[in-house]
Chain A
Amino acid sequence: EDQVTQSPEALRLQEGESSSLNCSYTVSGLRGLFWYRQDPGKGPEFLFTLYSAGEEKEKERLKATLTKKESFLHITAPKPEDSATYLCAVQAAGSARQLTFGSGTQLTVLP
């Protein structure tokens, strides 16, 4: 069974204090790993897709990396507007349609 575990569940940072969110996964052949951002009361918003170990993607203050067992979302010098829940999801090679989501990391950036 595919599993995705995100840690920590919640993270509070001061503005400018860099950190990383973790997504550990167990899947029978990874087809893709996805990061989404979700603001309170809204639907998830797509951020990145990673396909193979060693791959990195960047967007503004966010950088996502991938190894064979986990992915990290690095946040450099965060701002209060980066506060949100960050979701990780995986698609298994044998699963044509289904994503397995983690329960998310709730990030709060204090001014």
Chain B
Amino acid sequence: NAGVTQTPKFQVLKTGQSMTLQCAQDMNHEYMSWYRQDPGMGLRLIHYSVGAGITDQGEVPNGYNVSRSTTEDFPLRLLSAAPSQTSVYFCASSKRETYYNEQFFGPGTRLTVL
């Protein structure tokens, strides 16, 4: 099992550009989430999904879109990048019955918006 994979590992964007952060898991987990991690602020939930076709907003959803067409994939789209979106982004997945107990995190994508 590869676990949770994220691409790219690093990305630099200019203000106003759009891009998609990819996340995939091969553990057949129902739950998937996107977090951002900023210095001194801890991890914050952006969007999450409880299964294919079902998504919901987390704590900081503005400026981001998600979709879940398959169990395996959960891409995060930045619609028009802003410097405030400079952060490290983590995708996580877990089984339905152990939603928080065993969240598996990906290695992260470090995004810089100029």
A residues apposed to B, CB below 8 Å: 4, 32, 34, 41-46, 49, 87, 89, 91, 97-104
B residues apposed to A, CB below 8 Å: 4, 40-45, 48, 50, 56, 58-59, 90, 92, 99-108
- Quote the shortest CB–CB distance from A37 to chain B (angstroms): 11
CB<8 Å pairs between A and B, sample of 14: A42-B107, A42-B108, A43-B92, A44-B103, A46-B103, A87-B42, A91-B100, A97-B45, A97-B48, A97-B50, A99-B100, A101-B43, A101-B44, A102-B42
B42 cross-chain contacts in A, Cβ below 8 A: 4, 87, 89, 100-104
Number of A-B residue pairs, CB cutoff 8 Å, is 53
B48 cross-chain contacts in A, Cβ below 8 A: 97
B99 cross-chain contacts in A, Cβ below 8 A: 97
Q: Is the CB of A43 within 8 A of B106?
A: yes
Other A-B pairs, 11, CB within 8 Å; known A89-B43, A99-B43:
A41-B108, A42-B105, A43-B4, A44-B105, A46-B101, A49-B101, A87-B42, A100-B42, A101-B44, A102-B42, A103-B41
